[in-house]
Amino acid sequence: MILVVTTKEHRYTHAALEREAAPRVRVISYDELLSRGRPYRATYIFTDLDRLPAWRVQKAAIRYRELRAAGLRALNDPARVLGRFGLLRGLHRSGFNRFNAYRLDELAELADPPRWPVFLRMEGDHKAPVSGLLNDQDELARAVAESVERGVPRSALLIIEYAAEPVRPGLFRRLSVFRVGERLLGYTCAHDDNWLVKYGKPGVAPPELYDEEHRFVATDAFGAEMLPVFELAGVEYGRVDFGLVEGRPQVYEINSNPHVQLRPAPSPVEMHNKSTALFATRYLEAMAEIDSGRQSVPMVLKAGSLVWRAGRRVRQMAGRR
């Protein structure tokens, strides 16, 4: 059995696997994980860590260590997984990414980012950016003020330098690679007529790009290049999204809780449907490789255990409020 641990609001991401996948997959919340005294003998996948407050990440990291100490397999050590800012800054420092990311207070010391345009994102959020492209300091200042006025926390705002390139005139493409344990899997592309490629537009690309997409999936074309990115981020399960700029991969994010759709709505392009089906087969094979047995293990959280002590501290603090 495989247990995917998510925040309550984002359990839907792996619902398709619960319904029909083999091996057996179950999605549980962090509340369920941390409150259960006797865990299943299963492979645990920790996800959504960027959506958790720091104290919750710490408790998850302690439980991760207890599971590992009991001989269970667990992916994505909560104490080691990087958030968006840490990943982008680390990739820039290593020379992998040409573009950089900044926090607001940091940029105030620099006066200007080295590269314009930039845009605003909220750390821990996987929705669209909170601004469009901004071309100078005045536009940036206005965008920050407007974002805060809408309720976006200043502490969560990131300034990210633009790094995208059309694959054809007026057409942008997002590429992705999944990691499932030791397997790196090529994923289908998303195409859009806008630089911000989120879900893409069905059938918008010419046929040769869908042929190329199928090759990416069939050969795991970018797996070797993305492995150092996953390693830097401390992510053993998730999906990295990137684009090609002057032929060079530029990584935008890693989603530890990607939406896995085994049977998405059919595309008007048959080659894309073949790529989707091929990925689903390879993904399930990779999940089967990390599967564990289904019986429970004799491990009970007694008084004095790491998670028990962490929970007691939280309860004591709550009681003093």
Looking at domain 172-289, its CATH architecture is 2-Layer Sandwich (3.30)
| Top mean-pLDDT range of 13-17, 36-40, 171-175, 294-298 | 171-175
- For the question of whether the overall pTM of this predicted structure is more than 0.85, the answer is yes
**Using an 8 Å Cβ cutoff, are 163 and 250 in contact?**
yes
DSSP H helical ranges for 95-156:
104-110, 137-149
pLDDT in tens, 15-26: 989 887 667 899
| 239 within 8 A of 233, measured Cβ to Cβ | no
CA nearest neighbour of 311 among 70, 66, 75, 83: 66
Per the CB < 8 A criterion, the answer to whether 165 and 246 are in contact is yes
Write down the residue that tokens 């002590």 correspond to.
309
Q: What would the mean pLDDT of 251-269 be, rounded to a whole number? A: 92
CA distance 14 to 17: 5
- The CATH fold assigned to 100-161 is Dna Ligase; domain 1 (3.30.1490)
* pLDDT-based confidence at residue 37 (cuts at 50, 70, 90): confident
Element (H, E) at 197: none
Q: Please report, rounded to a whole number, the percentage of residues in the chain having pLDDT higher than 70.
A: 88
Among 34-48, 188-202, 229-243, top mean pLDDT goes to 229-243
Residue 191, pLDDT above cutoff 50: yes
Q: Give buried/exposed letters for 146-159 (b at 16+ CB in 10 A, else e).
A: ebeeeebeeebbbb
Task: Provide the mean pLDDT of the chain.
Answer: 89
Per-domain residue ranges of the chain = 2-81+303-320, 100-161, 172-289
pLDDT at 301: 43
Task: Name the residue among 202, 194, 226 with its Cα closest to residue 119.
Answer: 194
Q: Report whether pLDDT(107) > 80.
A: no
The pLDDT tens digits of the residues spanning 51-79 come to: 999 999 999 999 999 999 999 999 999 99
- Which one is predicted more confidently, 48 or 299? 48
Q: Find the helix packing angle between 207-219 and 270-289, rounded to 10°.
A: 10
Using DSSP, state whether 253 is helix, strand or coil: strand
- Contact predicate 259/6, CB 8 Å: no
Q: Say how far apart CA 248 and CA 245 lie, in whole Å.
A: 5
Other beta carbons within 10 Å of 215? 12
| pLDDT tier at 105, thresholds 50, 70, 90 | confident
CA–CA distances in Å: residue 65 to residues 61, 79, 132, 309, 311: 6, 10, 41, 14, 15
Burial class (CB in 10 A: 0-12, 13-18, 19+), 244: middle
CATH code matching the domain that covers 2-81+303-320, chosen among 3.40.50, 1.25.40, 1.10.760, 1.10.3470: 3.40.50
Say yes or no: do domains 2-81+303-320 and 172-289 share a fold.
no
The answer to whether 305 and 66 are in contact (CB under 8 A) is yes
**What would the mean pLDDT of 285-300 be, rounded to a whole number?**
69
